[in-house]
Amino acid sequence: MNIKKSIGFIIIYLFVCVLTISAAQPRPEYPRPQFERADWVNLNGEWNYTLDFSGSGLEKGYPSATGFDGKIIVPFCPESKLSGVGYTDFINHIWYQRTINVPQNWNGKKIMLNFGAVYFNSEVYIDGKFVGRHFGGSSSFSFDITRLVTAGKSHNLVVYASNDIRNAKQSAGKQCLRLESYGCNYTRTTGIWQTVWMEAVASEGLQSAYILTDIDQNQLVIQPRFYNDSQNELNILVKDGNKTVAQKTVKATNSSMVVLPIKNAKHWSPESPFLYDITYQVTDMKGKVIDEVRSYAGMRKVHIEGKKIYLNNEPYYQRLVLDQGFYPDGIWTAPSDEALKRDIEISMEIGFNGARLHQKAFEERFYYWADKLGYITWGEAPSWGMDANNIEVARNFITEWSELVLRDRNHPSLLIWTPLNEEFWPDRVQYPRFVEDLYNITKALDNTRPVNTASGGAHIKTDIWTIHHYEQDPGKLKKIVYDNGEYFQTQRRKTQLPTLNIGFNSLKDFNHYIFPEYKGDIPYMIDEFGGIKWAKNQENEVATNVKNQSWGYGDPPRTLKEFYTRLEGQIDALLDLQEHMWGYCYTQLTDVEQEQNGLYYYDRTPKFDIKRIHAIFSKEPQK
């Protein structure tokens, strides 16, 4: 009896230990939920680091360093509280170091080292040997480190990140280019800011799978990509719960295209976010499974007919909120997977059916929860801060944007691509070329979604015409949106135009080329408006003429009643324009630092009566 009790206590103790270790590791969940392997090692947690202000780390031998003086918690950036560092001045160079232990049972397999994102440029070293380099601070990347490591042994991993955010040659998004945050510019993110992990893969395993959902033909079409062609076979199993609805086996070659008929297919939508489970298995000539990946797909279709956006062949009105993805303790990095999920839930609780993910490339786990919960997303990149008239800058941005499109194109919740935001560069050659290239490359990589190339900016080539306007008076806002021209005319007047060269006969011709006019033949949306400021103690501050450092658009309401009246007035005004405008995006979901025009405070606690706000944003245009 005593022995049984002792064994029981030991089991309970070990279970508690496992839970404690799991809880201690930050962001322990698998970071790529639509392409998940079981055999992996999470490298998040405590690393060594040093800030390299002089940029002389290479000369000091840092690639071979076996430790640095500082401690940092990965995947949180050094500017954040969660990193344990909290250094918020500019960081041009940072070095990371840790030991990695390669499992013994990985012998004979391809060993991949994966990074969710490192801002901005990065280099990786194993035992002092150069592994590879990546340009861009938002897209994910991987390195094959098989030749540099041995299964069952420990190795020294060093990561170097460089960041020159004020040189106008890299995309910054809403990261502040001044020392202190101001207006709608916030604390910066440098270095590793998403999960780092290793995984073991068969040398002839599956590298990726492009999923096309064809609801008109009731079929899934999957294009697999392998690390190497072989005589192996790929078996794809599609399930609805425990029921197999489709299965097919093809040769494991990069020329294979797999068509899987789905009878009576269930469609994905915000109202019914159904997902099919998918299992990929690569088997060798003896029938042994050498690689297995778990995934999922949502059967849905998004397209444009005339001036409306359709979801699953029905006109679908998008009631979006601007989500900038900043967190008080993690900045660009959510403190937990639950925090990502919760941001979607609090948005849905106040009546939105989706979000424009603004000036930040959100991590894949966010899209996963959007897929699961039924939440529309628009994928965007942090385009602010770069001079896209510079050919090198444009080239780097296009590369990174292409990586993001390839990474996220299988997510059913993602309906619209929006690479740029509010770009009004007065250049008649490079800017139009850049935008057209972005549009064409995006369509080449994914022809299943509309592209809004420059949200609220100069539209050169686009599927959707979008404007931004923060007029606070509902009546005036309605007129501006209806007239569709005043805002762009204002931007033209504000823009200092260069001397004209051959090819344009007049200033009018130049303006027309850079700022084309809306012709009424594609969907038209206001994808930024509102921004009504409401801060704590605002009623008292307005009454006593006290000014704080918080910021919002227009004159703040004097009372809570005035806030509700203004908000509902703006929404009603836009809904009245349903024949002219098809959808909106309200600024914004939460406060971010000094910008206090969110519907929630920065810590995600509610500012307003949730039911009353929900009643406003859940309104639909009358049919």
pLDDT in tens, 561-601: 999 999 999 999 999 999 899 999 999 999 999 999 999 99
Supply the pLDDT for residue 550: 83
Percent of the chain with pLDDT over 90: 84
Q: Is the pLDDT of residue 19 over 80?
A: no
Rounded to an integer, the average pLDDT of 413-433 is 89
Q: Is the pLDDT of residue 299 over 90?
A: yes
Rounded-to-integer distance, Cα 406 and Cα 400, Å: 10
Rounded-to-integer distance, Cα 216 and Cα 313, Å: 9
Contacts of 539 (CB under 8 A, 6+ apart): 558, 559, 560
Do the beta carbons of residue 319 and residue 582 sit within 8 Å? no
Q: Is the pLDDT of residue 8 over 70?
A: no
Supply the pLDDT for residue 388: 84
Left, alpha or beta for 339 (phi > 0: left; psi -120 to 50: alpha)? alpha
Supply the pLDDT for residue 541: 67
Q: What pLDDT, in 10s, does the model give residues 88-124?
A: 999 999 999 999 999 999 999 999 999 999 999 999 9
Q: What pLDDT, in 10s, does the model give residues 402-420?
A: 999 999 999 999 999 999 9
Q: Is the pLDDT of residue 496 over 80?
A: no
Q: Is the pLDDT of residue 545 over 80?
A: no
Q: Which domains does the chain have, with CATH numbers?
A: 23-201 (2.60.120.260), 216-297 (2.60.40.10), 302-617 (3.20.20.80)
Supply the pLDDT for residue 425: 67
> What's the gap between Cα 583 and its chain centre?
21
Rounded to an integer, the average pLDDT of 180-200 is 97
Average per-residue pLDDT in the chain? Answer: 91
What is the 3-state secondary structure of 80-142? CCCCCCCCCCCCCEEEEEEEEECCHHHCCCEEEEEECCEECEEEEEECCEEEEEECCCCCCEE
Rounded to an integer, the average pLDDT of 7-15 is 43
Supply the pLDDT for residue 389: 87
